[in-house]
Amino acid sequence: MPSPAERARMPIAVYVLGLSVFALGTSEFMLSGILQPLARDLHVSIPQAGLLVSAFAIGMVVGAPVLAAATLRLPRRTTLITLLAVFGLGQVAGAVAPSYGVLFASRVVSALACAGFWAVGAAVAVSLVPVTARARAMAVMVGGLSIANIAGVPAGALLGQHAGWRAAFWAVAGLAAVGLVGVIALVPFTAVPTGDDRPQLRRELAIYKDKQVWLALTATAMNGAAVFALFSYLSPLLTDTAGLAESWVPTVLALFGVGALIGTFLGGRFADAHLFRMLFVGISASTTVLAVLALTAHSPVAAIGLSLLLGVTAFATAPALNARMFNVANAAPTLAGATTTAAFNIGNTLGPWLGGLVIGAGWGYPAVAWTGAALAAVAVGTTAVAFRLHRATNHSRLVASSTVVAPVPEGAERP
């Protein structure tokens, strides 16, 4: 059994994967900060420009399971290098795209590569740490997304405002190149098993017979949809509803990112020991924040403060949602990572689409926050069902351990 010191150390390769996720996350999220200049330049509406967020998410949904299955018996390091290179080329294609259609296609291709990288990278990160540190390892990777929101997304917004939205795509291509060097240099090579333990697609697909896998998938998707229903249209909500100048958008996005980093730290710190509690508290808090934002969206102070709080609540659940999927699908780590990625991005597709429908119906940007609150409430309900089923099975699937676990008193959560 690993000593406390060994459990405390996180392999450098996990941080390298987190750095690469920073580039991926910047590309995924940065459109929220350049939506308006992009729409003006390509002569499309804000909802049409918002569909570029959905295009990326659709690519992630399709790409995660497909690429995870296709590369199941390939060396993981080689797969990571290839996918990160393709992602970088996709950013270059987006930077030089002559039309909305070409940009849309480049987003899908980039997303396919991003999805595969996240699914395989998550499996690598989990494999490098003890089972009792899974949430912390995933917090490092999710932390890449948080830092992308703090630094990458606001920087993309500034580039979009002062150097054109295409400059943001060039910048992400450069970040991808840095990540590629790090993966090549520091992620260890792992040979593909060739014996009885070699990966088998049929065996990994068996996880989808488990109700808990589907409940975890649904909770993850609804939580992502709740956040992205609002986040995709946060920029116009801040300017058109709250009355802030467009120059304020990068600052508010940075505040959302600061909240995301705080939330990721809290989630990674407590999720391994209190997984369901973290899920209930985080998703319920997001529901409340979104509802209050819907009621107070015309206040600049409220819009700014609640954007920060939403970053905290949304990302506090991310390590727990990831760890939950790996725990209930422990026999299929690659597809577990792919399923989590697909679930997040089903939400990231559904949220902007529903938000666009609400805006197109003329209900205004505050209605998008109501939509997010309703979706988050569904995630809370799904988590409650999963917890009841978990308790009914009379054994813990929160964290596997080689130590003997004492019986849990009725009504208490197993540590």
Domain boundaries, the chain: 10-188+201-392
Spatial separation of the C-alpha atoms in residues 218 and 343, rounded to whole Å = 7
Contact 83, 116 (CB under 8 A): yes
pLDDT at 335 exceeding the cut of 90: no
Read off the pLDDT of residues 276-331 as tens digits, 9 standing for 90 and up.
888 888 899 999 999 999 999 899 999 999 999 998 998 888 878 877 777 776 65
End-to-end CA distance of the chain: 18
- 10-188+201-392 is classed CATH 3.40.50.300: no
Is residue 373 exposed (0-12), middle (13-18) or buried (19+ Cβ within 10 Å)?
buried
List the structure tokens of 11.
């392999």
Residue whose token pair is 């409940």: 215
Mean pLDDT within 353-368: 87
Mean pLDDT within 268-283: 80
Residue 322 backbone dihedrals phi, psi, to 5 degrees:
-65, -50
Type and span of the H or E element at 70 = helix 46-70
| pLDDT, averaged across the chain | 78
Q: Say whether pTM exceeds 0.75.
A: no
Spatial separation of the C-alpha atoms in residues 238 and 147, rounded to whole Å = 21
* Alpha-helical runs (H) found in 96-243: 100-127, 134-147, 153-162, 165-186, 201-205, 211-231, 234-236
Rg for the chain (alpha carbons), in Å? 20
CA distances from 205 to 131, 153, 208, 330, 336 (A): 21, 36, 6, 12, 10
Type and span of the H or E element at 356 = helix 333-360
Range in 49-53, 171-175, 386-390 the model is least confident about? 49-53
Q: What is the pLDDT of residue 301?
A: 92
